[in-house]
């Protein structure tokens, strides 16, 4: 009888460990799938003039089909982080604690400014939010580089698109290899 009880105990303990490993493997698989689905959401976000994916300047969020954006985490952050003085908040969208984009709205709730942050957000010319100054300038040669003394960074403005690539370097420090920190779309 003791042998049978010992044998049953060993089987029970072993099988519990097997179930635990199966659950851990299942949880790990779900985590990987969630991360991969997040990447596909971001890779499908493109920048156009006055538009970021389905987000469009001058529209309210209620007017747009934003199923993809509902899967991102939304928080409110200080607008001054993106160079907007005078206070206010922007809606910051993230996935797995990785910032994707931010939206600044007018009092009418219409989108005033979009801020692209994630490096997988690209233009149709394959320029990423984190592209180098030289690559951005070569692709958009009609842009103008200017100094933002208040924020202590440089801005490469492309008037035809209403875009501003922001660089965390002063005008006299830009050598060309610096990567854009984010893109402001107006």
**What is the arithmetic mean of pLDDT over 83-88?**
80
The pTM (predicted TM-score) of the whole model is 0.78
Q: How far, in Å, are 2, 107, 159 from residue 127 at the CA level?
A: 72, 32, 16
Query: CA 68 to CA 51: how far, in whole Å?
Result: 15
Q: Does domain 46-185 have CATH number 2.60.460.10?
A: yes
Q: Which position has the higher pLDDT, 14 or 46? A: 46
* pLDDT exceeds cutoff 90 at 72: yes
pLDDT digits (tens, 9 = 90+) for 4-44: 655 555 555 555 555 555 566 666 665 555 555 445 668 78
**What is the arithmetic mean of pLDDT over 84-93?**
86
Which among 48, 66, 186, 167 has a CA at the least distance from the CA of 115?
186
pLDDT digits (tens, 9 = 90+) for 139-170: 999 999 999 988 899 999 999 999 999 999 88
In what order do the strands lie in the sheet containing 55-56?
A: 55-56, 51-52, 46-48, 122-123
Highest mean pLDDT among 12-16, 102-106, 169-173: 102-106
pLDDT score of 68: 85
**pLDDT > 90 fraction of the chain, expressed in percent and rounded:** 59
């Amino acid at each position: 009888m003791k042998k049978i009880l010992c044998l049953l105990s060993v089987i029970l303990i072993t099988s519990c460990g097997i179930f635990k490993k199966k659950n851990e493997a299942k949880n790990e698989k779900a985590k990987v799938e969630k991360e991969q689905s997040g990447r596909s959401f971001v890779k499908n976000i493109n920048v156009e003039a006055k538009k970021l994916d389905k987000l469009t300047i001058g529209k309210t969020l209620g007017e747009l089909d934003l199923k993809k954006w509902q899967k991102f985490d939304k928080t409110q952050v200080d607008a001054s982080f993106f160079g907007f003085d005078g206070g206010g908040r922007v809606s910051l969208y993230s996935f797995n604690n990785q910032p994707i984009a931010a939206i600044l709205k007018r009092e009418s709730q219409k989108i005033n400014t979009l801020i692209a942050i994630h490096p997988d957000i690209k233009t149709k010319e394959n320029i990423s939010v984190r592209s180098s100054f030289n690559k951005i300038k070569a692709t958009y040669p009609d842009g103008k580089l200017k100094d933002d003394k208040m924020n202590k960074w440089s801005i490469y403005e492309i008037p035809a698109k209403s875009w501003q690539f922001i660089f965390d370097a002063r005008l006299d420090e830009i050598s060309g290899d610096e990567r854009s920190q984010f893109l402001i779309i107006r």
